[in-house]
Structure 1
Amino acid sequence: MAISSVFGLFQGTPQAQAPHVVLGTPIDAAIKGGQSEAVFGCGCFWGAEKGFWRLPGVVTTAVGYAGGSIQQPSYDQVCSGRTGHSEVVRVVWDTALIDFSDLLKLFWECHDPTQGNRQGNDRGSQYRSVIYADDSGLVALAEASRDAYQALLSSAGFGEITTELRSNQTLWYAEPYHQQYLAKPGSRPYCSAQPSGQRLGEFAGSAYKLDPRVWSSYDWTVAHCVLRGENAPIQLA
């Protein structure tokens, strides 16, 4: 099954989805030619989404719930920990401008994937680390990056990566007020991410496309680091 039939067509919540607050693109559109998509979970989805939308070449992002057992879950239901859903970010990207490797680099570096059902002070299965994609090539690349990052973490004294890699997972939109939350007036500056400080380099199958200078916009040496950056996409002089 192609990923567009699971994520791109979206089951979604009943609420209408407004355009992306920062990028101005539809957050609920099916992918087009030259685009691809995947879903990432790495703690509270507010901060995670901001980290991804800032990357050059990202077309749109949206937050939602995936990996669970009921249809159209609400935020309160997911927070109960009884639905099995994880808070996630859907990312759509232009494959000519950015590679899945770049997204994986951000994913692994922006949180601690060894923490199981929590991230920082946020505890519960809804905060677990996940990657969902239906393209077999993307799954294989995710697995290769995981193995490479595990080697880095092990050498630094961290435990085993607990990230869940799965296919055929339906994503349900989160409520509109959660979409691009950190870019909205009056938002509470919160991010649960606890980055390990380990930087992912080359790995089997990697084909980075982003200028290495992009990564200087992220400070993975401190917790809640995404809050320190601007909301606008990263632009290099």
Structure 2
Amino acid sequence: MKPGKRRKVVVGNWKMHTTSAEARQLAKGVANGLGNEDDVSVILCPPFPYLALVREILKGSRIALGAQNMYPEKEGAFTGEVSPMMLLDLGCKYVILGHSERRHKLGESDMFINQKVRFALASGLGVILCVGETLEQRKANQTEALLDRQLSLGLADVPADALPRISIAYEPVWAIGNAAHHATPQQAEDAHAILRGRFANLFGEEAAEAVAIQYGGSVDPENAAAFLRRNGVDGALIGGASMKADQFLAIIRAAKEDS
């Protein structure tokens, strides 16, 4: 890694995909392909039912286990929910919170996401906080205000000593899985600069220089290098391309080349 550079982070979000056999094969493919490579932080986030299975496969590797969501309580009468304690018990080190699909399809508010963020951090998990605007918001020139709001409310009352366990994932909702609209590397760099500036306002320049901001807008092996070499783009949150080991590994290699 080049001196003074933030460590690149590549996260595989499998969403609601894979059978147990597919999860096993995919995790093995990534672990075997990565080997002892340690220039890039790699996190796999399988569906809840396969966390224990993937944990066993990742043992001895440099890949961390993450979850796709959690509920902000230790335990209780919350049918269908999963607590951070359960995630920790299964070996998870990270959790994705505020993903655009949970915001827009499941109606999660900034305040609820903030509850999750604070509870996850207090429980000992690392948090990958997702933020990003819709196409309508971008067309209405609301991107900066929207990112400001999501970041400020999502990280409200977060203690300073928890900041090293936070990373941000910028998801332009309009560019995810959308053949008609693609974000450019320059648009990603501009959005990351907005986020880092707002993070500095909230927590200071030193914290802002340290925080990793990943890009999460349909990154694949063909465009990964173009995004990952841009200033302030510290990695990627991968959906579709994380479902094939060779594609995911190619993105990790692109991140390594820029480290």
Question: TM-score, normalized by length of structure 1?
Answer: 0.31
Question: TM-score, normalized by length of structure 2?
Answer: 0.29
Higher relative contact order (CA 8 A, sep 6+): 1
